[in-house]
Amino acid sequence: MPTINERKEIYNVHLKKIKVDKQKTRDEYAAKMAALTPGFSGADIANVCNEGAIIAARTDAKSVSLKNFEDATERVIGGIEKKIPMTKEEKATVAYHEAGHAITGWFLEHASPLLKITVIPRSKGSLGFAQYLPQEMNLYTKEALLDMIHVALGGRVAEEIFFGKVTTGAGDDIKKVTQIANSLVTVYGMTDNLGLVAYNGGEESGLRAYSDATLYEIDMETKRIVDECYANVKNLLTEKKHLIEALAEELLEKESINLPQIINIIGERPFPMKESLREYLTELTDRERQAEELKVKE
């Protein structure tokens, strides 16, 4: 995928066709969006620019704003908003599930910073999702991979803590967790029990270069990692139960919460904030303050 500088160049190409508002130059918009869309392909970037223009046109705006591009980014990630009939209990489950993911990542050092949470269903199948700003890294430590597992399990754990039962909403999370845990064991040699041996070779041809006993060990080691991570997350979320509840109830009321609102509810993240995220937070805060001032004048 393109690096941040390559994404900026791609944004500059697509923004030439778009009239952006005068708050920033095209180059400044390109730099800002490049920082906020790590992992996006060239096609994704083109979609963000096109969707941003469409969103602005629907409101009869004369130019495209940063808010339009942010909404477009959500559409590219999750799809367009979709009206799905949901019971009050289902909506509450989704809100607490997403809050569980959010709180887990907020208090883990190697988790990606959180940007926004929403419980608005999307056309790509999600009933809600949390948008993060992942680090652009070529190499991941064991700690970073384990924190990915922790965050993915946060929704399932929150359901168990608050409702005493779990739903099918964690299906994709469990699939992701299993893949990461299995890779820790079979690809990256990051477990003491099986050591520095790659156990995934030859599977493309349908052959397996190890015994049934080793396969059993791999299964048990993968399960051990997931079980330990689940226990860690349950301890963390039990301790932070009041923050999950506060975040989920705000989600149920507003449906979408951005970074300044998240910080107001649960406080600053206890880890250093990277500069691009700090600048973005300042912009969001200024924008919200201007919106409040406009409401007061009206």
Residue 50 exposure: Cα atoms within 13 Å on the Cβ side: 7
Catalytic one of 51, 70, 74, 98: 98
Mean pLDDT of the 73-100 span: 88
Which homologous superfamily is 89-266 in? Peptidase M41 (1.20.58.760)
Rg (C-alpha) for the chain, rounded Å, is: 21
- For the chain, the maximum distance between any two Cα atoms, rounded to a whole number of angstroms, is 74
- Decide if 98 is catalytic: yes
* Tens-digit pLDDT profile for residues 216-225: 999 999 999 9
Q: Please tell me the predicted confidence (pLDDT) of residue 83.
A: 80
Phi, psi of 99 (to 5 degrees): -65, -35
The pLDDT assigned to 74 comes to 86
Burial class (CB in 10 A: 0-12, 13-18, 19+), 189: middle
Check residue 173 and give its pLDDT: 92
Give tens-digit pLDDT for 228-239.
999 999 999 999
pLDDT score at 290: 62
User: If one looks up domain 1-78 in CATH, what number appears?
Assistant: 1.10.8.60
pLDDT in tens, 155-182: 999 999 999 998 888 888 999 999 999 9
- For residue 223, the model assigns a pLDDT of 96
Strands (E), 13-136: 114-118, 129-132
Q: Sorting pLDDT into bands at 50, 70 and 90, what band is 98?
A: very high
Model confidence at 125, in pLDDT bands (50, 70, 90)?
A: low
State residue 204's pLDDT score. 56
pLDDT tens, position by position, 276-297 = 667 767 767 766 666 555 555 5
pLDDT in tens, 5-55: 999 999 999 999 999 988 888 998 898 898 888 889 999 999 999 999 999
With a pLDDT cut of 90, the percent of the chain lying above it is 54
Domain ranges of the chain: 1-78, 89-266
Give kind and range of the element (H or E) at residue 208: none
Mean of the per-residue pLDDT values of the chain: 88
pLDDT at 206: 63
- Measured CA to CA, the distance from residue 186 to residue 222 in angstroms comes to 9
